Structure formats: structure tokens, C-alpha cells
Structure 1
Amino acid sequence: MTVLYGNTLSQTLKEEMKKKIDKLGEEGKRIPMLAVILVGDNPASQSYVRSKEKACRSIGMQAAMIVMDKNVATEDVVRAVVKCNEDPDVDGILVQLPLPSHIDQQRVINTIDPRKDVDGLTISNAGRLVLGQKGLVPCTPKGIMAMLDSIGMSDLSGKRAVVIGRSILVGKPIALLLQERNATVTIIHSKTVDPEKIAHEADIVIAAIGVPRFITKGWIKEGAVVIDVGINRVDGKLVGDVDFDSVEQKVSWISPVPKGVGPMTVCMLLSNTLEAYERREKEYERKDRVRSE
């Protein structure tokens, strides 16, 4: 068994991004910028936003924090998004979720310019993912795929993968990404019959249901790779959806909680912002060439 530490991998990837951004500064070019919109005073959301801002600064990326009162109307948040859409210096837009219950969350998300949708949640980017077209991919699934790449599992032909959970943030998109790599994928959810038996046939198990230590050793076959997306607090301690202690002796690789998928999610947010920046710069270059011809 080997522990797959996302925090170590994310640090390596962030160092590579920092080199790219440092080079942009040396060449006198514009520096990529992420705009984060936070509505309300939810402590967890505030903590997440601070960590994202810190991560941006650590690689030399610009970060613009837009904090709005919890009582603002949907229209106010939409206007903030539109302003970021129109700002040529903003490359990525992240609306921190969840939004207060009175706000039309889907309307806000779909107002984001798909080219700046670094969470990959707009209808446009979700559709591109389904069709296998190039787009911005949700951060957690993208991070999981990077973790698999890091252990030599880029080509998943002949592998059976089970995704436990069907959320739009993790379960559905990671299933699509695994299929793109030629894995045979099954999604287990609350209505699945005999889920333990199905999971036990998998070479790769992605656990993303939000139930602490739900996945025990009976779910996992010998030598499987287990990626634990769950973040649950039990008696003041962070634990995953997988019962790490009972499973670790059966697996070939397993990601821990904390220090697993979480750091990779933030890392992929930075990666998506840099990717959005590079695409926009190429678009500007093409337009300049057309005008000069």
C-alpha cells in the first residue's frame, strides 16, 4: 500500500505554474487574475476563499476578492459576475458555493462567461465535457485525474472504475473523465442494489458521498486504487468517506483525508485560471493578426 498525497503533488504542480507566471512578469506581460465572489458570512466559505487567495499569491497569480452582503438579491450577484465578465484583466471567475438560499444559484453560475468559468459549472462547459470537447473541467475531478496520472494510470483501458456518488460537482464529471480514458465506469448511488458487491469488482474506486468512513474493507478488492473525496468532521477531526484504517492493507494506492484530494482541488483552480488566461491571450493574438492582414 502506498499513500497518494495530493498535497505533495499539488506543490510540484504549483511550482511549475509559478515558473510560468514569473516568466510572464519578466517579459512584461499581463499576470493572470482570478476573481472570487463571496456572498454572505458563512465561516466555511470564508475559510475556503482565504485559502484560494493564499494559493493564488503563492504562485504569483493575482486575486480579486469580491465580498457581498448575505442579503443581496440575485440581480446584484449577477451584476457582479457581468462586471467580471467584461473586465479584460480577469481570466477566471469563481462564485463561492453554496450561495444563500434566496439567490438563484444556477442563474448566477450560467451568467459566468464560459471562457472564465474556472469551476467548470456553466451549461456550456458541462456540455463540452459530455461531448468530449475541450473546455474548463470542474476542479475536483480534474485533480483526481492528475492524481491517477501521477501513479502511471493515464490509460485506463481494461480497468473497471466505480464512482460512489452522482453529484454534479464530482460524481458525474469524474465518471465522464474516466470514460474518456477508456475505463468501464459504474456509478453507485442511494438507489443502487448491492453496492458493496459492485464496488468490490473495481480496479479504481472514487468515493464521493459525504458519509464519514462509509466505505469499509468489504467494498474494496485486493490491489485497488482508492481516491477519497469525502471531507467530514467527526469529533473535531477531518475524515473521509473511506474507513482508511480498515482499507489501507488491501489497496495498492489510497488518498488520505486530509492532504489528499483537497489540495488538488485548489491546485486545479489555479491551473484552470492559467489555462483560461492562455486561451484568451491566444484569442487576442489571432484577432490582432486578422486586423493587421
Structure 2
Amino acid sequence: MKIINSDKIIENLIKKIKKNKYKKKLLIISQINKGPVLAYKKAILKRCEEFEIDVVDKLFSNDQNHIDIIEYCNKLSNIDGFIILQPLDSNTDLKYLRNNMPFNDLDGFTYESLGEIMDKDFSHMPQTARSVIKFIEYMNIDLRGKDVIVANSNNVIGKPLFMYLNSKKATVTMFNSKSENQIEKVKNADIFISAIGIANYYDKKYFKDGQILIDVGTSYIDGVLYGDIDYESISPLNIDLVSSKKGVASITTLSLIESLLYKNS
């Protein structure tokens, strides 16, 4: 098993970000201030401080909703891009926000961005999907004719990746929670991308020599980070692995800042 880490990608992103001399301002919107949302926000804020990027960090209360968010945004000026950290409270209408957010979308959130992705314009991809693509590019993978499985079907990872991979002439299968015969299908794939968030779900019986595995899933058990794939069980196999540690999640904040500074990057 060969582990592909993010060190070189991070190095290249930092170099590119430091070359940018324009001042930009990022808007972060959230309605939860704990768990993964808070951790991701702290990571973004840390990088913004490192690169001297102005940030508006707006936390809305559970008593507020989509109307309050849009009214707040309409009063702002000089915002160069936004990200909404989900989940939001149940009384906040995501459809309303997707239709009415006024600023440059950095995370594939709005219906306009999602429509562009369906039309093979990937300039407003969700950052997790963009980070997966950066690994594919870094590994210099020729996707033409490859059988690729994406174990995720949401708007943040599965659907955007499906469209991107299909545009590169790969044959793409997207799993959902009811997909059958997964062992056989995964074993016959050239590339497997997992983002189900269940620790060590996929073990050795799913895989064979010669495959490329990209594990986007993250789960914490007793404070320890696990991916979707059981790395110990697959270690004897001759495969290339992007693991959950020093993998996709480690470059999403830098990818976000790159998108803010370099439109359509």
C-alpha cells in the first residue's frame, strides 16, 4: 500500500496564495458553533490570519432564519466571497438561501453554482470536491475510460464529482445508502472515492491490487480520527491510497482561500 499525502499540494497552494497581492474579504456564515462546524471554521480563520485575509465571521442564533441571513448580507459591502458552514438550524430554508445569496459563491452552494456544475463549468465547485480533484491532478491520473465509484450522492461531494469525472470521460457509478452488490462493484473499479462517514466500513474484501482509493470520510471515536476505509486490513495490497489523515481534508481551507483570491482557479 502506497499512501499519497498532501505535503506537496499544500506547498504549492501556499506558494500560489502568497503570490497574490490583492486584499480580499471572506464572509463565513454559520448557525452552529460546535463540533465539525466549529473545527472547520477555526481552520479557515487560522489560514486567513496567516495570509492576512479580512474575514467577516457571522454566527446566527437558532432564533434567526434565512430572512435574517439575507437581510444581513444585503447590508454588507466589499465581500469577495462567502461560505456557509452546514448544517444550519431546521427553521432556516436552504432553498431560499441558494436562490438569494448575493456574493461570489466559494463552495458550490447556490442554485446558480450547482447549475453551472451540471453544465460542466466547475469554477464554483464545493471545496471538498475541489480538493479531491486536486489529488487526482497531483497523481496525474488519466480518467479516460476508467471505472470510478463515488460512495456519496450529496451536493457537496457525490454529484459534483460525478459531473467532473464524467466530463473527463470516466465511467462513473454513484453509490447511495441502498446501493446493492457493493463488494463486487468496488472490486471491479479502477478508482474508489468514499465519503460516507462510517469508520473503517470498507475493508480488504472490497479491494484488489492496482486500485486507487481516495478516502474523504472522517469519523472520530474516542477522539481518534478514522476514515471510511480500514487501512490496516488493506495494507498488504498493492494500491495507491489517499487516506483521511493528511489527505483531502488537509487542503480544503487552502483550496477555499485559493478560490477567494483567484476567481475561477
Q: 1:266 aligns with which of 223, 235, 253?
A: 253
Question: 1:7 deviation in Å?
Answer: 5.0
Please give the per-residue CA displacement for 1:106-158, whole angstroms capped at 9, x wherever unaligned. Answer: 32233223x611011211111111111353111111110110111111x3112
SS in 2 for 1:90: coil
Matched-pair contact (CA < 8 Å) for 2:32–2:87: no
Whether 1:90 and 2:79 are equivalent positions in the alignment is yes
Provide, for residues 241-274 of structure 1, a one-character-per-residue CA deviation record: whole Å limited to 9, x for no partner: 1111112332432112222111122222112212
1:38 corresponds to which letter in structure 2?
Answer: S
Q: Alpha-carbon deviation of 1:17?
A: 1.2
Task: Tell me the residue number matched to 2:132.
Answer: 144
Instruction: Please name the residue that 1:288 is paired with.
Output: none
- Following the alignment from structure 1 to structure 2, what is the Cα–Cα distance between the partners of residues 165 and 39? 24
Tell me whether 1:275 sits opposite 2:252 in the alignment: no
**Judging changes above 3 Å, is the alpha-carbon distance between structure 1 residues 6 and 111 closer, same or farther for their aligned structure 2 residues?**
farther
2:50 paired with 1:63:
no
Q: Which deviates more from structure 2 when the two are superposed, residues 242-251 or residues 180-189?
A: 242-251
SS of 1:116 mapped into structure 2: coil
Matched residue of 2:98: which SS? helix
Per-residue deviation, 1:43:
4.0
Cα contact 1:117–1:136 (8 A) shared by 2:
yes
CA shift for structure 1 position 61: 2.4
Matches within 5 A, 1:125-140: 125-133=113-121, 135-140=123-128
Structure 2 unmatched ranges of 5 or more: none
- 1:208 paired with 2:195, answer yes
> Which among 252, 265, 289 is matched to residue 239 of structure 2?
252
Q: Aligned partner of 2:92: which letter?
A: I
Amino acid at match of 1:216: D
Q: Which entry has the higher C-alpha Rg, 1 or 2?
A: 1
How many residues end up aligned between the 2 structures?
Answer: 265
Moved more, 260-269 or 40-49: 40-49
Where does 1:30-109 land on structure 2 (aligned, <5 Å)? 30-84=22-76, 87=77, 89-109=78-98
Name the counterpart of 2:101. Answer: 112
Q: TM-score, normalised by structure 2?
A: 0.92
The structure where helix makes up a greater share of residues is: 1
Matched, 1:180 2:172: no
Partner Cα distance (1:90, 1:249) in 2: 50
The structure 1 segments of at least 4 consecutive aligned residues displaced by more than 4 Å after TM superposition are: none
Secondary structure of 2:262 counterpart: helix
The percent identity for this pair of structures is: 25
Q: Out of 123-132 and 104-113, give the one that drifted further.
A: 104-113
Quick one: which amino acid aligns to residue 98 of structure 2? I
In 1, the alpha carbon distance for the partners of 2:139 and 2:251 equals: 15
> Match of 1:283?
none
Secondary structure, in 3 states, of the residue corresponding to 1:196? Answer: helix
On the 8 A contact 1:199/1:219 being kept in 2, the answer is yes
In the alignment, is the contact (CA less than 8 A) between 2:97 and 2:110 conserved in 1?
A: no
C-alpha distance in 1 between matches for 2:98 and 2:75: 14
Change (3 A) 1:52 1:251: farther
Contact kept, 8 Å, 1:40 with 1:71, in 2: the verdict is no
Between the aligned partners of 1:42 and 1:231, the Cα distance in structure 2 is 16
CA shift, 1:58, in A, is 2.0
**What residue in structure 1 maps to residue 184 of structure 2?**
197
Q: CA shift at 1:229, angstroms?
A: 0.7
Q: Structure 1 counterpart of 2:242, which letter?
A: S
Contact 1:7 1:264 in 2 (8 A): no
Contact in 2 for aligned 1:199/1:220 (Cα 8 Å): yes
Distance 1:226 1:134 in 2: 23
2:75 counterpart SS class:
helix
